[in-house]
Every structure is written in structure tokens, then in C-alpha cells.
Amino acid sequence: MRPKYYTPNEVAVHNTLKDCWVSFLGKVYDLTPLCEKHQGDVLLKPIVASAGKDISHWFDPKIKDIRTHIDPTTGCKIAYTPHSRFLHIPPPCPRTDWANDFGRPWWKDEGYNVGILSKKTRFIKIINTLTSQEQVIEVCSEEIMTEILDRYLKYNAHADSYTWKYDGVNLDMQKTLDENGVGDEDEEFYKLSMNDDEFLPAIHLYFNDDLTEA
């Protein structure tokens, strides 16, 4: 089963205590259940404050764990949390009220993982040749066409009843845009100081008239 890809903008809308998503090290996590379980805990505040954001800077990418540093007072290696200590991070000094029976730390619990953060998103224009309606949508470069179709369903619930074409050629719905020859020229437009919104690749949808096949 393919993982689900998300754009940073999709993660960003989940930015409250009751709907808390974060991304880090290329993955997306829904921490809402964690927030519900620990609601009212002061150690939850840094997490809620970062809801909807990428918190990769909290982690050492080499070991995929919380960054550490040497405490100048004790000389011990401890978690590096410059803003504030958060859930499942031990206090810098031993304390009797510190309970470490929570099991796996939340950042190592893949049960919270809901998908992968896209490394590169892009915008495409989808034109319905039957109705002449146009929609510009943001997609993940890693997504295959059926996944892009799923994104488009909110604009046209019958999108799978259309043949999808680019430059008059049928698109392979099991391949990505790049694999279908729909190049991403964002960098070129940037170098040329051109507004790429005016030159978005256009996908044309042609309605499949089943009556003509009867």
C-alpha cells in the first residue's frame, strides 16, 4: 500500500489542541490523541505551539532522535530543548515526580504517523473540456495520477469518468506527473524571473461518453 503524501499547506491547517499535526524528518504525524491524553499538562504547550509546523530542527537527523547537548552546569548530556521541555523529555536533574512509564516516546511512536511530507509540491491547472471549468490545485510531486485525481474529486465528483490528457496524450494514471512527461519548470521560471502561475502545465479532462461505445 502506497503511503499518503501531504503538502506543508495541508499540515499547516491542523494547528490547534484538538487538531494537532506536525511534520519532522520527512514524515507527518497526527498528535491529536497525544494532546487529548495529556490535556492540561504544561509539557504539552511546546507541542501545541508548534501544531501545523515542521519541527525537524528538534531532531538530530543522523540518529533520528531529539538533539542533545552537554549541560554546562552538570556536564551531563541532556536533551536540547532551548524553548522549553516537552512531553517525554526527562528533567535535567533527577526528580521524584518524573514518571518514565509512558512506554515509547511520542516521536518514536509510528502509531501517530499518517503519511509523508512532500519534498516538492507543484501547482497544475486542470481543465474540464465538457464544462470549460478550470481549477488550479497544489499536488505532491511524488503522487501518481490516481492520487491527484483523488485531490480533484472535491471539484468534480465524477473525475474518474474522464480521460486525463496532457498535450493530447493520455496520461498513465499509475505514474507521476514527471513520469508522464509533465515537467516541473518552477526553477527555470524562477531563474528567468517569470511568473510561473501564467505557465502552469494544463491537464485536460475529456468526458467518457459511454453511449458512443454502445
Domains of the chain by start residue, with CATH:
5-117 (3.10.120), 121-213 (3.10.20.90)
Half-sphere exposure of 90 (CA within 13 A, CB side): 12
pLDDT at residue 134 tops 90: yes
Residue pair 153/205 in contact (Cβ under 8 Å)? The answer is no
- What is the predicted pLDDT for the residue at 72? 87
- What is the predicted pLDDT for the residue at 61? 96
Which of helix, strand or coil describes residue 86?
coil
The residue type at 183? G
Predicted TM-score of the model (pTM): 0.89
Largest CA distance in the chain: 82
- Residues 6+ away with beta carbon under 8 Å from 107: 24, 58, 59, 65, 66, 88
* Per-residue pLDDT tens digits for 60-92: 999 999 999 998 888 889 999 988 999 999 998
